[in-house]
Each structure stands twice: as structure tokens, then as C-alpha cells.
Amino acid sequence: MIDAIVLFEQMIEHPLLKKQAFVIFFNKKDVYEKKVKKVNIVDFFPEYHGKPQSVSQGIKFFHSKFLANVKERKVTSHITCCTDTNLMKTIVAAVVRKESVKINKDIEKYLKEEKRTYEQYKREPKLLLLGSSDSGKSTLLKQMKILHGSGFSKEEKERSAVNIRKNIYDAINVLVRECTPEKYADLFKALSELDEDGSSALPPEMGEHIHNLWNEKEVQETFARIGPKMLPDTTEYRFLKADYDPTNEGKLEFNEDVLMLRTVTQHISCNVFQLDRTRLHMFDVSGLKHHRKQWIPYFDDVAAILYIVSLSSYDQTMVEDPTVNRMVDALVLFDQIVNNPALSKPDIILFFNKKDLYEKKVKKIPINEFFPEYQGNYS
């Protein structure tokens, strides 16, 4: 009995059970009524002052023992005999009736709160970011976090630092293998000792070596030849800053490092930003071709679609299909979105992104090599 009292007190004081209603069943009434006439309660509980053979006073005593330390909690109790079917039927029906009233009230309260939350959500504007892979959707989302959010969390910074190093490793592997591999055997050996997933920090001397590697003539020529097809457009930025420790949160340029980070979006994310008095929901979805069917559920109630195009992609091919030009894919996809009956209501905003990269590239790579119908000049 003492063990039962202690266990009950632990349960009723447990933080996870603070909202639950408690019902105590004082069971085995039939066995108790026989025993109390032969075995005195006071022999085991000296604090009992009732009549030695009183069934009701004994029950009252044990009831008080269980509720002695209960504060601000409503506890109901029943005297039961689980082998008495008729008695249990009556008691359980009474408990269910009483608890069902409370449960119904809780459900109604929950539904009202959910309805209020949903109605508020319906009123708030939603912006859907669309575009082909590597157009810059995720970068725009990062800018929103910097400008209108709380910036990047410690976990995001640590994850970004890992991906930044991975960007560097991947670029080196592609570039150097296209050069004269044996010439850079020492670099490959040093890289092989680091984790390819970017979890190992770059040693200071390694960063400086990579920085200098970028200035090698063969590397520059190789980058000019294969860069647009095989490497991210931030490769030059990564090489020039390879000696910078991106895990140092004290450096202001970390935001720029995160913005210049290239990772493939594999999932759908929703971020909420407070713009003055307006809460804006911004959805970012994967631009990979085989993920585009996942966009459909997010078309409902969208106020506007922000379609992002990479201007610098006019000479690049898709990762999923090297036979398809990225700009052509962006054009086809945009046409499908604009002419989709399900998207007749949302406004469509067209962002021509990566202006800085485009301005450099267009002076070196003529547009009409990929779009013969282009009749403009090259400046």
C-alpha cells in the first residue's frame, strides 16, 4: 500500500502528466471487507484512528493517504470490485460520461485554436520560389534570412562551414584531374588525408597552398576550358578564399561565404519572415527535374510566384541531362508555369539572377554560340 501511495504521488507530480485527469479505483472491495474484520489497519498504519473493523472509516483513511500531498489537481475516486460485472459496468459508465465531457471540451478548444491559426495562415501572403536547378533560389532565401530574419543559427553556420570545405574539395578534384595529375600528387595526398565530406577543417598551410594553386597557368587554362560545364560558378571565389576559416563567427564576411555556398536543394522548406506588419511565408522547392512534381501541392493559395533564372546559365548544360541547355530548360519550364491553368491566379515575378557572373561571361563567351537567333553585340 505504501508503494502504491508513493507511485501515485510521483505520477501526479510528473510534468508530462500535469494536464491529465486522474481517476483512482480503490479495487478489491470484496476482499478488503472480509480482511478488515480480521486484520487491524492500525497494526500496519499506526496513524489510523478509526474503528478497528469499520469498512467505511478504513476506506476514508486510505483515500486521505493518497490525496494528502495532492495540490491543485482534481482527482476523482471509486470503490470497485473488478470481478463484479454489474458494479464495474455502472462505475465505468459514470467515469466515461464525466471524462467525455472534459474530453469534448478539450477537443472543441483545440479545434477553435486550430481554426484561428489556419484562418490567420490563410490571410498571410505566400510566395513560391520556382526555377531550374542552380538558378539561385536558395541564395535568395539566405538573403531573406539575413535581411528579414534572425540570420544563421550556430547549427546552420557549422553545417555551412562543412559544405564550404566540401565545395573546395570537389572543385580541386575536378580541376586538378583535368590538369596534369602527377604534377599535383602532393596536394592529392594531403587532400586524401582529410574527410571528403568536409568535416575536417582545412589546415592553414593547405588553405594557402590551394590559394596559390589558383594562380597556376595550367589551372587557369583548365578552368577556362571546363569551368562552365563541370564546376559551380562560385569556384573562383572558393579558391581565392580557401585560406579563410569559415568557422570563425567573428568575421563579418561569413554571410557572404554562406551566400556563395553551392548545395543542391533536396527538400521543400518553408520560412516565415516578418516584413513590418506582414508575415510572409516563402516556400523553396528543389529545382531538379525529377523533383518538380513535388511543387503541385504548394500552388494552392499562393499570392505570387517568384521565378528565378540564372543569366549566366546560357552556356551551361543540366546536371541531370547534359544534352539540355540550362537556359533552354528554364525557358521551357517558365512557359509551362505561365500557361498552367492551376496557376492562373498568382502573380508571376521574373528574376534574372547572377547578373555579376553574366557580365563577366558575356564578354568571353558569345551568346549566339548557344542561341543563334541572338543578333546583339557582345558588350
The pTM of the full predicted model, rounded to 2 decimals, is 0.60
Q: ∠ at Cα 354 (348, 360), nearest 5°?
A: 145
Among 266, 280, 338, 277, residue whose Cα is nearest residue 307: 338
Residue 81 shares a structural domain with residue 180: no
Distance of alpha carbon 168 from alpha carbon 244, whole angstroms: 12
Kindly state whether residues 58 and 128 are assigned to the same domain: no
Q: Which residues are annotated as a binding site?
A: 138, 259-265, 353-356
> Which segments are annotated as binding site for GTP?
259-265, 353-356
Phi, psi of 273 (to 5 degrees): -125, 140
* Nearest in space to 313 (alpha carbons), one of 263, 365, 262: 365
Tell me, yes or no, whether 116 lies in a domain. no
What residues are designated binding site for Mg(2+)?
138, 265
State which of 75, 95, 115 marks the end of a domain: 95
Domain membership of residue 225 (yes or no) is: yes
Residue 131 belongs to domain with CATH number: 3.40.50.300
Q: Output the tens digit of pLDDT for each of the chain's 379 residues.
A: 888 888 888 888 887 777 777 788 888 888 888 898 888 888 888 888 888 888 888 888 888 888 887 877 778 787 887 787 876 777 677 666 665 566 567 657 766 887 888 788 788 888 888 888 788 888 888 888 888 877 777 777 777 777 777 777 777 777 777 777 677 677 666 666 665 555 566 666 676 777 777 778 888 888 877 776 677 777 777 666 655 554 444 444 567 777 777 776 666 777 888 888 888 888 887 655 555 566 665 566 788 889 999 998 898 888 778 888 899 999 998 998 888 887 788 889 999 999 988 998 888 888 998 999 988 876 5
337 and 215 in a single domain? The answer is yes
Are residues 7 and 152 located together in one domain of the fold? no
**Is residue 374, in this structure, part of any structural domain at all?**
no
Q: DSSP labels for 89-116?
A: HHHHHHHHHHHHHHHHHHHHHHHHHHHH
**Cell numbers at 82, concatenated:** 473488478
Residues of the domain holding 322: 124-369
| Cβ–Cβ under 8 Å, residues 214 and 227 | no
Q: Are residues 83 and 132 in the same domain?
A: no
Alpha-carbon span 375 to 372, nearest angstrom = 8
For residue 161, the surrounding DSSP H or E stretch is helix 154-178
